[in-house]
Amino acid sequence: MAKTNFLNLTNRVLRYINQSEVSTVVGSTGHSAIVKDKLNEALNSVYTKTNWYSLYTERRFQTSQNITIVVLDYTSTGDTITITRNGTATVLTEGVQWSNATSNDVSATALAAGIVTTFGATVVETEVVNENIIVRNRAENDVGFTVVATSDTAVYTVGLANNSLYDMASDFGRSIALLDATSDASIVEVSPRAISHADPNSSESGNPTAFAAFGNQYRLYPNPSSTLLMYDRYFKIPATLTVDADTIDLPLETESLIVKLTESELAFYNNNSIKGSTLLSHYKLMLEDAIEMNEYILSKQNHIPARSMGSVLPMIPAQFPTGYPR
């Protein structure tokens, strides 16, 4: 059975509340606009109730090194910095890709901006602290930086450094497992506090044995000392319903749940608490059945491995993302 699209879900609820159907949800107003919002609110609410099997996602990314640059003399002109990424050398020239300014600090900011412009903001990101620049590779599936050189070592100190921070997927919701496919090894998830305690300066390197979520990034411990293929398994965040043809990312069996919760919320919205409470009770019973079915399917798919929690780091209870169901 195919999933019901957003337009038909909206009209299903509109019929229930004795309102006219619409030919499109795009640009709709009045009751249909309210129904659209309530459907998305219900979708997000149901999402938080468990790890729905249909949200299981996999991706691969490679670890890579950072570039470090220190500006020592802002008065110098015409110098070059050569960056090799994925086997291709790119030459940046002072006065072309960037211009030195009134101080080492300002020159470092200009150079960092020139690097981002040259490679693209989706490929690299930079961090500038005084005269110090860190350049990180953002692309997921390439080797990244392998060589950096300068025409004047008296003006610029350049080098490569192991990188511990890697962007999560843009649709990341909840972590399942992170695997080092190169070494065929599982990486244990710990709390950010555990990694910060074990390696406060992010200076240790080797094959990663642990990871933690720092904002929207993974931090690996220790820092990878070579290029590794990482296998990331997670539950994604469901996409917002926007246009007529959109369907929910949650399992098909949650459609009725989402509609029932929407109808309940609309009853409360219209100050009909008795009807709202009755619908909400029905929703809760349906939710229990859906979660039970979901757990059964997950057990058959075996997405969540039993991971050893060995003594890789001092173990501190993991800190889950905001909204993670306890």
Q: Which tens digit of pLDDT belongs to each residue from 86-98?
A: 999 999 999 999 9
In a domain, 315, yes or no: no
In a domain, 309, yes or no: no
In a domain, 101, yes or no: yes
End position of a domain, from candidates 96, 128, 162: 162
Looking at the 3D structure of the chain, how many domains does it have? 2
On whether both 73 and 52 belong to a single domain, the answer is no
* pLDDT surpasses 80 at 228: yes
pLDDT of the residue at 308: 32
CATH number for position 148: 2.60.40.4390
In a domain, 317, yes or no: no
* pLDDT surpasses 60 at 317: no
* pLDDT surpasses 60 at 312: no
* pLDDT surpasses 50 at 306: no
On whether both 114 and 141 belong to a single domain, the answer is yes
* Residue owning tokens 């994604």: 236
End position of a domain, from candidates 162, 189, 204: 162
Q: Could you read off the pLDDT of 1-51 as tens digits, one per residue?
A: 799 999 999 999 999 999 999 999 999 899 999 999 999 999 999 999 999
- Shortest CA distance to 176 belongs to which of 53, 48, 293, 313? 53
pLDDT of the residue at 141: 75
pTM score: 0.78
pLDDT of the residue at 210: 95
Q: Could you read off the pLDDT of 176-200 as tens digits, one per residue?
A: 999 999 989 999 999 999 999 999 9
On whether both 69 and 141 belong to a single domain, the answer is yes
On whether both 244 and 155 belong to a single domain, the answer is no
Report how far apart, in Å, the C-alpha atoms of 115 and of each of 8, 240, 244, 277 are.
Answer: 48, 35, 42, 58
In a domain, 31, yes or no: yes
On whether both 117 and 72 belong to a single domain, the answer is yes
pLDDT of the residue at 304: 55
Q: Could you read off the pLDDT of 130-153 as tens digits, one per residue?
A: 999 999 998 877 888 999 999 999
Report d(CA 252, CA 261) in Å as an integer: 15
pLDDT of the residue at 320: 43
Length of the chain: 326
Which residue segment(s) compose the domain that 25 sits in?
Answer: 6-56+238-301
On whether both 37 and 88 belong to a single domain, the answer is no
Q: Could you read off the pLDDT of 257-284 as tens digits, one per residue?
A: 999 999 999 999 999 999 999 999 999 9
Which tops the pLDDT comparison, 306 or 80? 80
pLDDT of the residue at 12: 97
On whether both 45 and 133 belong to a single domain, the answer is no
In a domain, 113, yes or no: yes
pLDDT of the residue at 307: 34
Average pLDDT of span 237-247: 97
* pLDDT surpasses 60 at 318: no
- Shortest CA distance to 175 belongs to which of 211, 137, 202, 142? 211
End position of a domain, from candidates 117, 145, 162: 162
Helical spans, DSSP H, in the chain: 6-16, 30-47, 104-119, 192-198, 255-269, 273-301
Per the prediction, the chain carries an average pLDDT of 90
On whether both 89 and 142 belong to a single domain, the answer is yes
On whether both 94 and 138 belong to a single domain, the answer is yes
In a domain, 173, yes or no: no
In a domain, 194, yes or no: no
